[in-house]
Chain A
């Protein structure tokens, strides 16, 4: 059904590529994936091999009114993310209100931090797809299900990776020691307010793999964030900030979780052949919009390779910590079935995503 052309007679009817792709997208992609010359691995329709990721480009700090911002390009997918910090007064805070405060730097409890950040809603990520980025999302209407899914996935990943520290988001006040008898007594610090981080992700253009691009932009923007030094002013009884850039600090993130998305392309047997043969499937890294429209299932693996930074100096697949695996539930089958046996393909995916991570970390550091 699909071969390279040289040896065969010219077919009676032939279409240009674009029409072939539009008329029968599934065979079009399968034809690409099965056509292999001995010298070269089969290429996808976009010219990449099945395992190849697009090289991301990251630019940070381009927006004026944000504490941190990033523009991420993943091929033709481009995203702008702006992080803005605003102050939530402690008396206005709802939901949380527990008196837990991380005291010293050494005393670090990621779980408690995350619960508190979640309860107080100190992270407000949002995604906007209706910017003319694709023909599917019409502006002026409420966020579509895919936009809502994207928002929820990003929020849950932000929380489950324990990326942010509560200590970074507290505005504390140490009242002067009143007790004249014991001047050495450390006055107890009060939490006067919290920083709320608004993470707004705007898609300029979507060409597949929206989640990776959105997360990467959020991560790069969070790394770029400079929060001004804020303090409680007794005289005015309000929170004031210092506008001196030297006083501002950046966030200390826990790790550097990087996602890699794979689409599962289910091959079909020849149309004339009868009977159930074994299906041939491909796992395509970093799918573009065309591939996403053809594939019914996708898997997202989030790995963190930053742990090995201290020990060996070089990050690699060996240091990878698997943070999360997500699978789209578009068909009712057990996950991993199409990917093959978990032991081989699971490893393959982690290795493969580590390759993506290398690319993405490189881009982040360059920015």
Chain B
């Protein structure tokens, strides 16, 4: 496991380390299955979202998004059943491009997505891997068409998204047990949708002109072999939590402009079957759900800003006396 040595950081022991393996999951076959989480929400009911803007004062705009884990942490085991989603985004700019850069008639957007080493069940490295670069490109596609870039010629803006905790690709018992899972990568769609929503909030917080607010949403088709009803064997759900489903057939993440009814980014995975439109429509429904949260949060932030401004105006006289001035 000798990874390329990074001399600028503290490296792990060169022998390599292993994540702990829990005894009961290896020795008692039934125990593993008893830990399996299941979906308690309705098929069209998305998870709750916590969103906050303005968390990084030195950035021109920033936001933090959290989708708490549905299953509460269990008291009887140390193994977390599902993951939650925690993403922070900050926007630096628009600022002038360096003199050496060639002329650009519109705003240059750079998007970086980085997972924290503790974001997933398996520890991640500090150097960006292909998944992160891939996600960065997807988020960039989702955002580029939304900003009115012509208003900032010769400038660049940087959107930095940090995933502190990401959704998992499947239930850890399946992923580790079979090795194959079912294709994998389902969690990335949730992370992408979260990244789009939080980056959009940060861009609005930065005051960059946009044609509309973009928001992310995910829908999935799942197969449920235990269901008795034939209708429930294969069904469409909104905002899937991959760990809660045994088999996901297909999933789709979109970046959606609700008031213009436009899709800026789409990522479909798996076997969609005969009805791809239904799946995409489901994803847009989920996106509308997160948009409602987005709007409310941005309105609240705006109201708070105006309130402090008016308070400042009232207390301005008192403040002036405390102010110091430089003369001569």
Using a CB–CB cutoff of 8 Å, the interface residues on chain A facing chain B are 1-6, 8, 11, 14, 17, 20, 24, 27-28, 31-32, 35, 43, 63-66, 69, 76, 78, 80, 82, 84-89, 91-95, 120-122, 124-126, 128, 130-135, 138-140, 142-143, 147-148, 151, 155, 196, 198, 200, 202, 204-207, 226, 228, 230-231, 233, 236, 238-245, 248, 289
Contact = CB atoms under 8 A, between A and B. Distances in A.
A50 B59 CA distance: 26
A1 B112 contact: no
Contact of B325 (A2, A76, A244): A2
28 contacts: A1-B326, A11-B327, A32-B324, A35-B324, A63-B86, A64-B69, A65-B83, A65-B121, A85-B20, A88-B18, A94-B14, A94-B15, A121-B11, A132-B56, A132-B89, A132-B159, A133-B58, A135-B59, A198-B12, A202-B162, A205-B59, A205-B90, A230-B20, A241-B78, A243-B22, A243-B24, A245-B77, A248-B78
A110 B12 CA distance: 22
Nearest to B17: A86
Contact of B88 (A88, A131, A198, A230): A131
B176 interface: no
Interface residues of B, number: 69
A131 B10 CA distance: 18
A241 B23 contact: yes
Contacts of B162: 131-132, 202, 204
B246 interface: no
Contact of A63 (B9, B18, B164): B164
Contacts of A5: 320-321, 323-325
B126 interface: yes
Nearest to A125: B10
Contacts of A248: 78
B307 to A, nearest CB: 19
Given A64-B83, A87-B17, A2 B326 contact: yes
A236 B121 CA distance: 23
A200 B116 contact: yes
A240 B22 contact: yes
B308 to A, nearest CB: 15
A94 B90 CA distance: 41
B203 to A, nearest CB: 13
Contacts of B328: 1, 11
